[in-house]
Chain A
Amino acid sequence: DTGVSQNPRHKITKRGQNVTFRCDPISEHNRLYWYRQTLGQGPEFLTYFQNEAQLEKSRLLSDRFSAERPKGSFSTLEIQRTEQGDSAMYLCASSPGTAYYGYTFGSGTRLTVV
């Protein structure tokens, strides 16, 4: 297994456009997390899946954000009508169980909204 894979690595988009990011977790991991990280900050939790079920969503996840994990495999994070404040690194992580087991993070998708 090559770890957690995120695509694309970089995305530049114009304000108002929609963007979609993909995350392929480690295949044995049933838990998947999305975080957002801005410069000088630690990762901020966005949402969590256990298999295909979305079990927790942060208040940071406005109506413009939606995440899916069909069939409990890969996940997508979509941002509609992007705003400049959405510019950040979007990180995906997976784990085989509770946080005790540790997260394996992908390299992230760097979003720039111009």
Chain B
Amino acid sequence: TQLLEQSPQFLSIQEGENLTVYCNSSSVFSSLQWYRQEPGEGPVLLVTVVTGGEVKKLKRLTFQFGDARKDSSLHITAAQTGDTGLYLCAGETDSGYALNFGKGTSLLVTP
């Protein structure tokens, strides 16, 4: 059973377009993180959100944590080809030691 559901699974857009990817769960998380992974490499941490309703901005990336701390979104403005990769959300619950990862959204940005 997947604790975190990510959508869409695949996304192909052109450079300059905006996009939003989603991460949903029925569980409450004490913190939630977004990672980006390139082929053949390990995931790299982008951001951690901990407070319900929190919004964090990282250049053209905007991350939001839901009020109930069960869901999150990642919005990219004016996508660039360098944004191509697998975007993973991962949540920490109060009952476990380790992060639970979603399946990821595979993003392809074409020129």
Q: What is A's interface to B at a CB cutoff of 8 Å?
A: 4, 33, 35, 40-45, 48, 50, 55-56, 91, 93, 98-108, 110
Chain B nearest CB from A52 CB (Å) reads 15
**Segment at the A interface, from B12-20, B42-50, B63-71, B77-85:** B42-50
Residues of A within 8 A of B96 (CB): 56
> Which B residues between 65 and 111 are near A, CB-CB below 8 angstroms?
88, 90, 92, 96-104
- Listed residue (B6, B43, B45) with the most chain A CB atoms within 10 angstroms of its CB: B43
Extra 12 A-B pairs, beta carbons < 8 Å, given A41-B104, A56-B96, A100-B31: A35-B101, A40-B103, A42-B101, A43-B43, A45-B100, A56-B97, A91-B42, A91-B43, A100-B30, A102-B45, A105-B42, A108-B42
**Closest chain B residue to A98, Cβ basis:** B92
Chain A nearest CB from B98 CB (Å) reads 5
Residues of A within 8 A of B45 (CB): 102-104
Report whether B102 and A99 are in contact in the complex, using a CB–CB cutoff of 8 Å. no
